């Protein structure tokens, strides 16, 4: 048994936010039927790099799903979708607001067929508000929400994050919202419409920044490699590069001074006695510490930090991260057999379940790989499926 065994999800989303959501639901055991458009399917199938003409981007985010292709602009294609929706627990879509109404697959249309349906819409700006009709992208959301003004070095060009944090954040928001709605339905029998906006999903993450802003009007600015509140809690230069150092409280700072760098006099220096003092004098503190840390390589300091119980770590590139012994021991790199690409590596599961461990049950599907199988399961005979294919309703 997997946690979501028995739950059926119709995935009418593409690219990243929606597919990430449905991938995790699939990892947890849900049956995910990916409904792809007839002219090429999910747009990420056309995003390289490729192995044997299959997109590796698509393959990484669409495991544990079945692929069918329906032409939702045609009545016959919609009729098939309605039959699937009648038996589904969840629908996930990421069209611009208004498109599902024009296709007649919006929440109100499907609710009439399946009153208990949980219908999750992921869009750039949500289903309401003055920007609802705009196309929304992760990069635009990072700018709009203020994130980019906080990212990068002070006085330099604003920087985006290294990954599509808002797309993934919207997918994560959709996951916990769907699960909460499912619990509500278990208690009440009532389905509902979930409205998730990429542009706002990250705002609740700015908890400390919001505290300072709402209480004092302080607008957070870019802090570069330093932390906004704690010091030293940042990247530090060592002899052979950089390391991360996390003295997030007074006791950790004291252990660092006494046991790691053996400079106890820094603890009583008026500039560095408290966290507030260290934050106010972070440039002077950084210069002193980097002069000390620059005398030895990173491995030396990391060993000393570990021995003293001071949080510290390397600044890895992605290749180094994927070979880190801890990640490998925690099975954060897995392998799966793909029908075209062969044996491929993929990222593992960050949630470790003691009773219902997650599993990759199948690799990302080929385009329309499961059309006949899925439509057969809802009662369509082979000749009916072929007739729909000839009419252009399915692929």
Find residue 36's DSSP bridge partners: 69
pLDDT confidence of residue 136: 85
pLDDT confidence of residue 346: 98
pTM to 2 decimal places: 0.95
Cβ count near 302 (within 10 Å): 19
Rounded-to-integer distance, Cα 284 and Cα 279, Å = 10
What is the phi/psi pair of residue 379, to 5°? 100, 5
H helix intervals, the chain:
17-27, 56-61, 75-87, 99-103, 107-111, 138-144, 147-150, 165-188, 198-201, 207-216, 250-255, 265-268, 275-280, 282-293, 298-308, 318-322, 325-329, 371-377, 382-390
100-139 tens-digit pLDDT? 999 999 999 999 999 999 999 999 999 999 999 998 899 9
Percent of the chain with pLDDT over 70: 100
> What's the token pair of residue 156?
């330099």
| CB-based contacts of 86, cutoff 8 Å, min separation 6 | 113, 114
pLDDT confidence of residue 132: 95
Could you list the active site residues? 167
What average pLDDT score do residues 384-393 get?
96
Rounded-to-integer distance, Cα 363 and Cα 157, Å = 40
pLDDT confidence of residue 52: 96
pLDDT band at 175 (very low <50, low <70, confident <90, very high): very high
The CA-based angle 53-57-62, given to 5 degrees, is: 100
What DSSP string describes 231-284?
A: TTEEEEEETTEEEEEE--SHHHHHHIIIIIS--THHHH-TTTSSHHHHHHTHHH
pLDDT confidence of residue 374: 98
Strands 241-246 and 233-238: antiparallel
| CB-based contacts of 359, cutoff 8 Å, min separation 6 | 2, 27
**Phi-psi sector, 363: left (phi>0), alpha (psi -120 to 50), beta:** beta
Cβ count near 326 (within 10 Å): 9
pLDDT confidence of residue 128: 97
What average pLDDT score do residues 181-201 get?
97
Q: Would you say residue 365 has pLDDT above 90?
A: yes
What average pLDDT score do residues 220-246 get?
96
pLDDT confidence of residue 51: 97
Q: Is 332 buried (19+), middle (13-18) or exposed (0-12) by CB count in 10 A?
A: middle
pLDDT confidence of residue 388: 96
pLDDT confidence of residue 27: 98
11-30 tens-digit pLDDT? 999 999 999 999 999 999 99
pLDDT confidence of residue 135: 86
């Amino acid at each position: 048994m997997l946690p979501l065994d028995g739950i059926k999800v119709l995935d009418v989303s593409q690219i990243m936010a929606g597919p990430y959501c449905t991938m995790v639901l699939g990892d947890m055991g849900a049956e995910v039927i990916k409904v792809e458009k007839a002219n090429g399917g999910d747009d990420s199938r056309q995003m390289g790099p490729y192995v044997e003409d299959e997109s590796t981007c698509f393959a990484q985010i669409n495991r544990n799903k079945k692929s069918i292709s329906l032409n939702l602009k045609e009545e016959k294609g919609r009729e098939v979708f309605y039959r699937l929706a009648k038996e589904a627990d969840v629908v996930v879509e990421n069209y611009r607001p208004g498109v599902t109404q024009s296709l007649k697959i919006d929440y109100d249309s499907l609710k009439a067929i399946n009153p208990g349906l949980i219908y999750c819409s992921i869009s750039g700006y949500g289903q309401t508000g003055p920007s609802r009709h705009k196309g929304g992208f992760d990069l635009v959301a990072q700018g709009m929400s203020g994130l980019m003004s906080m990212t990068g070095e002070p006085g330099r060009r604003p920087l985006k994050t290294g990954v599509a944090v808002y797309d993934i954040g919207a997918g994560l928001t959709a996951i916990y919202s769907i699960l909460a709605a499912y619990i509500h339905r278990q208690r009440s029998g009532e389905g509902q419409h979930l409205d998730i906006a990429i542009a706002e999903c990250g705002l609740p993450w700015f908890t400390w920044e919001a505290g300072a802003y709402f209480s004092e009007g302080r607008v957070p600015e870019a802090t570069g490699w330093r932390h906004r509140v704690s010091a030293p809690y940042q990247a530090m230069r060592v002899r052979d590069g950089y390391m991360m150092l996390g003295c997030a409280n007074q006791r950790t700072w004291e252990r660092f001074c006494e046991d790691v760098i053996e400079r106890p006099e820094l603890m009583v220096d008026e500039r560095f006695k408290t966290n507030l003092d260290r934050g106010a004098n972070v440039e002077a503190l950084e210069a002193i510490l980097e002069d000390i840390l620059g005398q030895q390589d990173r491995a030396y300091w990391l060993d000393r930090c570990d021995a003293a119980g001071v949080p510290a770590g390397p600044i890895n590139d992605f290749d180094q991260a994927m070979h880190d012994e801890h990640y490998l021991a925690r099975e954060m790199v897995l392998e799966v057999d793909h029908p075209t690409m062969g044996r491929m590596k993929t990222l593992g599961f960050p949630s470790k379940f003691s009773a219902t461990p997650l599993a990759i049950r199948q690799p990302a599907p080929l385009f329309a790989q499961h059309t006949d199988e899925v439509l057969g399961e809802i009662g369509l005979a082979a000749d009916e499926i072929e007739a729909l294919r000839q009419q252009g309703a399915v692929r």
